[in-house]
Amino acid sequence: MAPSQVAEQENPTEESATSTLGQGGEVPRLGLRQILIVLTVTLATGVYAFTWNSVTVAMPHMQGAFSATIDQVAWVMISFVIGSAVMTASVGFLSNRYGRKEVFIISSVGFLATLVGCALSTSLVEMVVWRFLQGLCGSGLMPLGQIIAVNAFPKERYGQATALWALGFVTANVVSPAISGIIVDALSWQWIFLFPLPVGVAMLLAAIYLVPRTPRSERNLNVTGYAALIVGITALQLMLARGERLDWFESKEILIETAVAVLGLYWFIANTIAAREPFFDRALFLNRNYNLGNFVVFIVGTVMFLPLLLVPLELQQISGYPALDTGYLLMSRGAGSVMGLLILSRFRDRVDPRPILALGLLCTAIGSYSMSTWTVDIRAWDVIWANWLLGIATGAVWAPLNTLTLSRLSERLQDQGVAFYYLAFDVGSAIGTAVVIGLHARHSQVNRAILSEQITPHGNAVELPALWSLGEGAGLASLEQELARQATMIAFNNSFVVIAVVMLAALLLVPLFRYERAS
Query: 135-161: per-residue pLDDT in tens?
Result: 888 888 888 888 888 888 777 777 677
Pick the residue with more confidence: 467 or 298?
298
Closest CA to 74 of 237, 196, 252: 237
Residue 22: CB atoms within 10 Å: 10
248: left (phi over 0), alpha (psi -120 to 50) or beta: left
Task: Give the global pTM.
Answer: 0.78
Q: Crossing angle for the helix pair 100-119 and 75-98, nearest 10 degrees?
A: 160
Contact residues for 5 (Cβ-Cβ < 8 A; gap 6+): 283
The confidence band for 251, taking pLDDT boundaries of 50, 70 and 90, is confident
The whole-number pLDDT of residue 365 equals 93
How many Å apart are CA 2 and CA 272, to the nearest integer?
Answer: 18
> Each residue of 412-450: pLDDT tens digit?
888 888 888 888 888 888 788 778 877 777 888 887 777
Give the start-to-end residue ranges of the domains of the chain.
Answer: 30-219, 222-278, 280-456+464-519
Q: Residue 465: its pLDDT value, please?
A: 56
Segment 363-381 mean pLDDT: 90
The highest-confidence range among 102-111, 224-233, 341-350, 416-425, by mean pLDDT, is 102-111
H/E run at residue 477: helix 473-507
pLDDT of residue 476: 64
**Per-residue pLDDT at 270:** 92
Pick the CATH number of 30-219 from 1.20.1250.20, 1.10.10.60, 3.40.190.10, 3.90.660.10: 1.20.1250.20
Q: How confident is the model at residue 109 (pLDDT cuts 50, 70, 90)?
A: very high
- Asked if 113 and 428 touch (Cβ cutoff 8 Å), the reply is no
Asked if the domains 30-219 and 280-456+464-519 are classified in one and the same CATH topology, the answer is yes
Q: Sorting pLDDT into bands at 50, 70 and 90, what band is 6?
A: very low
- Alpha-carbon span 91 to 97, nearest angstrom: 10
The identity of residue 54, as a single letter, is S
pLDDT, residue 295, reads 93
Choose the most confident range, by mean pLDDT, from 1-10, 103-112, 458-467, 481-490. 103-112
What are 382-410's pLDDT values in tens digits? 889 998 999 888 888 888 888 888 878 88
Q: State residue 367's pLDDT score.
A: 92
pLDDT at 409: 80
User: How large a percentage of the chain has pLDDT more than 70?
Assistant: 87
Q: Is 70 exceeded by the pLDDT of residue 2?
A: no
Write the CATH number of the domain with boundaries 280-456+464-519: 1.20.1250.20
